[in-house]
Amino acid sequence: MTPPELAQLAVVGRPQPRVDGPLKVTGVARYASDHLLPGLLYAVPVCSTIAQGELERLDTAAAEGMPGVRAVLHRRNLPPLRRASLNLGFGSDSSYFDEHRPPLEDDVIRHFGQYLGLVVADTFEQATAGAQAVKATYRGERPPNVDPRLGPEHLSPPGCGERLDVRPQGAALARLDVESERGDPDAAFAASAVQVDRVYVVPPETHNPMELHATVAAWEGASVTLYESTQGVVNHRNVLAQVLGLPRENVRVITRFLGGGFGSKLWSWPHSALAAAAARQLGRPVKLVLTRRLMFATVGHRPRTAQRIRLGATQDGRLTSLHQDWVNHTSILDDYKEDCGEVTPQLYGAPNLRVTSALARRNVGTPCPMRGPGAVPGVYATESAMDELACALGMDPVQLRILNEPPFDLSRKVPFSSRHLVECLTAGAVRFGWSRRDAAIGSMRRDGLALGWGVACCAWAAERFGCDARLDLRDDGTACVAVATQDIGTGTYTVLAQLAAESLGLPLGKVEVLLGDTVLPPGPISGGSMTTASVVPAVLEAARRVVASLLVTVTRAHGSPFYGRRSSELACAAGKVHARTDDPASGIAFDELLRACRVGAVTSSGSASGTSSTEENVSRRSYGAHFVEVTWEAALARLRVSRVVSVIDAGRIINPLAARSQVQGAVVMGIGMALLEETLYDPVTGAPINSNLAEYMVPTNADVPPIEVMFLDHPDPHVDELGARGVGEIGLAGVAPAIASAVHHATGVRVRELPIRLEHLLGS
């Protein structure tokens, strides 16, 4: 679009309710497991009940004789699955598998819940009973290593705040990497007038999307269709083609709707390959739905992290040094790095800085990205340390952050594309009433409750994936926009409808959106909060081309009112074509023209490549600030989050309603992270033991206060033509440290190990 058109946006920027809302609330929207195909069989995995050892034998005889059981599949009777090439290209060639080892590849047991086989039966209940009847015997069983101390010699027990020496010692740490470095942080820290040196721990957290992971696999000859619950149909198609040994053309993946993923459905997991292999073996469609319990063991989690943060500052609050040394646990075979330093080098202007990472192997399932991977635990630690520094300095925590605003991206020595973090802080402070804050611990009260006010900043990368898109302009007055990305519950259908309507000048209700199917033009994973920015340039290009194609068509078709004219003499406005010399109001509607031309539809494509954070001379990020109030009732030991104001700088907001919902949902997750969530591994069996929604606690409505979300709405000219960045993940970063700081303000207790529990606060 050209600047004058941008100035008159009619659809983009409006709070548009979800176009797919009616389909969802009436039950018409079909999710993966809703696909009930003729002859469907049900698969239930047989899983390891130990976490370290070897499988000696699977006794399948009893299960095989049970009613309805069609097959018990395992390593000895299922042809081997291949490995995926692990191309993390994010584009149409992306083929990333969280677990590098395909299922059933060997007999070594590395975590509780590891797949040993699969029972396939006529009903889910029969398959479940069959799986329970399969008896596994093990040899060489050893106690699992699920030690929450991330390297016994490197870390003291979590939360005690002792010094952390992150050096690789023994087998516990897989490797140590320097992630970012500038200046001489050791000397600067040693010489600094004021120091903070603390360890912060975030426990393992497990994604709990409402929709369970599910696959329905159906073969037709040598081709397979997978109805899948995935955040990336193209990646999943590429992975499954490799794992099953098929050309890509023989695999189709469909995810029309997704009931949340939060990163656990970003890449492929082995159950899907098992379902496809079982369906191939049995010549019948197979459905495999993971139970909530299995989802705690086999489809990823945010790993435990321990981070030592050292801040050095001058007496007047200028950061002189910043160290961040983190360890995260990972599984035995996979090197999953929780990139806690993702935003650290850019957030503040410390001239001297070093960020290091290390991995510690544990007998757990492979971790994976969880909303705001890296940045969310990273910002929890660095922003908590900033609050501790503000306390040590006797300085207001908002002022401390404003004082340390960097003039440019010091780590890459490039300008910021569009950064308004200070405005987030100042606007949020006004809205929240921050000037009324009394910094003295426990000094603020309301209705007999102690009040705590805390603040924290957040940032998240703002890049773009490569994306193709197709637009059809049809003779019934509708348009159709198609791209093989997906709507994971965030509003992508609606955003695409808005983009197509805006760029064609059609009413929103005339736009059909097709997503979530690998037969469509390749689109990106729904991850990294990058979908909106990725689709904008592709859709706008497709719109320009489809209009150009229409203008040529109407000059060449007999019967067209513009027959014989030159397309350059024509223009479009509000879904109509007019001669440039005439009043736009005289235009003729697209569909009327197409009917006059006897052309059913004009189709064009658009394509845009992705951005790369390291290749361009600009630093693109979104920013924000969260202001939180907690109340503490010491007599009842009752802690509540009572008020949240979040100010987000995410470029132009295409749909303020969907964007607000994203940030509100993220803040709810932040309340869970701060106060409730923790996956507990049984030290004896290695099992995630609170593997259900009764014992793995997430916030309920009663835990959620009013959440006010403000967007600054400054378009970012370096992201896409509309200046739109993403809003999904940034809302979670910064919430937990703001709550932890508010709890400290109310109670005087600084909790450095999440979740904050009442036990931490008793006696305060």
Touching ligand MOS, residues 606-625 (CB under 6 A): none
* DSSP tag of 332: S
Count of residues for the chain? 764
Q: In terms of CB distance, is 651 or 728 closer to ligand MOS?
A: 728
Residue 231: CB minimum distance to ligand MOS, A: 6
Q: In terms of CB distance, is 98 or 517 closer to ligand MOS?
A: 98
Instruction: Report the residue from 373, 428, 522, 731 that binds ligand MOS according to the rule CB under 6 A.
Output: 373
Given the residues 388, 708, 729, 753, select the one marked as catalytic.
729
Residue 263: CB minimum distance to ligand MOS, A: 3
Gyration radius from the chain CA atoms: 27
Number of helical H runs and strand E runs in the chain? 18, 27
Residue 302: CB minimum distance to ligand MOS, A: 9
Q: Supply 259's token pair.
A: 């009931």
The pattern of x and - marking residues 510 through 549 that bind ligand MOS according to CB under 6 A reads -----------------xx---------------------
Q: In terms of CB distance, is 505 or 726 closer to ligand MOS?
A: 726
Q: Closest by alpha carbon to 406, among 628, 184, 623?
A: 623
Q: Closest by alpha carbon to 166, among 359, 352, 375, 311?
A: 359
Q: Supply 43's token pair.
A: 């698969």
Q: In terms of CB distance, is 70 or 237 closer to ligand MOS?
A: 237
| Dist CA 114 CA 468 (whole Å) | 37
Residue 207: CB minimum distance to ligand MOS, A: 8
For 202-239, b/e burial (b = at least 16 CB within 10 A) is bbbbbbbbebbbbbbbbbeeeebbbbbbbbbbbbbbbb
Residue 90: CB minimum distance to ligand MOS, A: 11
Which amino acid is present at 708?
A: E
Distances (CA, A) of 721 to 464, 506, 603, 717: 12, 20, 22, 7
Work out whether strand 251-254 and strand 570-573 pair parallel, antiparallel, or are unpaired. Answer: unpaired
* Residue 205 a catalytic site member: no
| Dist CA 420 CA 660 (whole Å) | 18
Q: What share of the chain is helix, strand, coil (3-state, %, to 5)?
A: 30, 25, 45
Q: Does 744 bind ligand MOS (CB under 6 A)?
A: no
Touching ligand MOS, residues 227-266 (CB under 6 A): 231, 261-263, 266
| Dist CA 89 CA 358 (whole Å) | 24
Q: Does 505 bind ligand MOS (CB under 6 A)?
A: no
Q: In terms of CB distance, is 219 or 267 closer to ligand MOS?
A: 267
The size of the interface with ligand MOS (CB under 6 A), counted in residues, is 11
Q: In terms of CB distance, is 334 or 591 closer to ligand MOS?
A: 334
| Dist CA 676 CA 663 (whole Å) | 19
Q: In terms of CB distance, is 53 or 527 closer to ligand MOS?
A: 527
Q: Give 577-595 as a DSSP string.
A: EEETTS-GGG-EEHHHHHH
Q: In terms of CB distance, is 261 or 454 closer to ligand MOS?
A: 261
Q: Does 369 bind ligand MOS (CB under 6 A)?
A: yes
Instruction: Find residue 573's DSSP bridge partners.
Output: 576
Residue 595: CB minimum distance to ligand MOS, A: 44
Touching ligand MOS, residues 266-305 (CB under 6 A): 266
Using alpha carbons only, give the angle 194, 197, 199 rounded to the nearest 5 degrees.
155
Residue 266: CB minimum distance to ligand MOS, A: 5
Q: Supply 362's token pair.
A: 């544990």
- For 394: left if phi > 0, alpha if psi spans -120 to 50, otherwise beta; the answer is left
Q: Does 371 bind ligand MOS (CB under 6 A)?
A: yes
Which amino acid is present at 393?
A: L
Residue 611: CB minimum distance to ligand MOS, A: 16
Scanning 97-105, 365-373, 563-571, 647-655 for contacts with ligand MOS by CB under 6 A, the matching segment is 365-373
Which amino acid is present at 757?
A: R
Instruction: Find residue 197's DSSP bridge partners.
Output: 310
Q: Does 374 bind ligand MOS (CB under 6 A)?
A: no
Helix (H), strand (E), coil (C) string for 101-160: CCCCCCCEECCCCCEEEEEEECCHHHHHHHHHHCEEEEECCCCCCCCCCCCCCCCCCCCC
- Cβ-proximal residue to ligand MOS, closest one: 263
Q: Does 733 bind ligand MOS (CB under 6 A)?
A: no
Scanning 147-155, 304-312, 363-371, 569-577 for contacts with ligand MOS by CB under 6 A, the matching segment is 363-371
Q: In terms of CB distance, is 266 or 458 closer to ligand MOS?
A: 266
Residue 303: CB minimum distance to ligand MOS, A: 13
Q: Does 370 bind ligand MOS (CB under 6 A)?
A: yes
Contact positions vs ligand MOS (CB under 6 A): 231, 261-263, 266, 369-371, 373, 527-528
Catalytic residue ranges: 729
